Structure 1
Amino acid sequence: MRKLVILGTGFAMATKCFNTCFFLELEDGSLFLTDAGGGNGILRQLEVTGFDYQKCQHMFVTHGHTDHVLGVIWVIRKVADLMNKGKYEGQFHIYCHDVVREMLLKMTEMTLKKKDFARVGSDILIHEVKDGEAVELPQFRLTAFDILSTKAKQFGYCLQFADGMKFTCLGDEPYNEHDRAYAEQADWLLAEAFCQYKDREVFKPYEKNHSTVKEASELAELLRAKNLVLYHTEDKHLATRKQEYAAEARQYYQGNVFVPDDLDVIELG
Structure 2
Amino acid sequence: MHVLILGGTTEARRLAETLVAGAVPGVRVTSSLAGRVERPRRPPGEVRLGGFGGVDGLAAWLREHHVDALIDATHPFARTISFHAAEAAALTHVPLLAVRRPGWVAVEGDDWHGVESLEQAARLAPVLGSRVFLTTGRMGLAAFAGCAEAWFLVRCVDPPGPPLPPRSEVLLDRGPYTLDGERDLMRRHRVDVLVTKDSGGAATAPKLAAARELGLPVVVVRRPPVPQGVPVAEGPEAAVAWLERIHPSG
Q: TM-score, normalised by structure 1?
A: 0.32
Higher relative contact order (CA 8 A, sep 6+): 2
Q: TM-score, normalised by structure 2?
A: 0.34
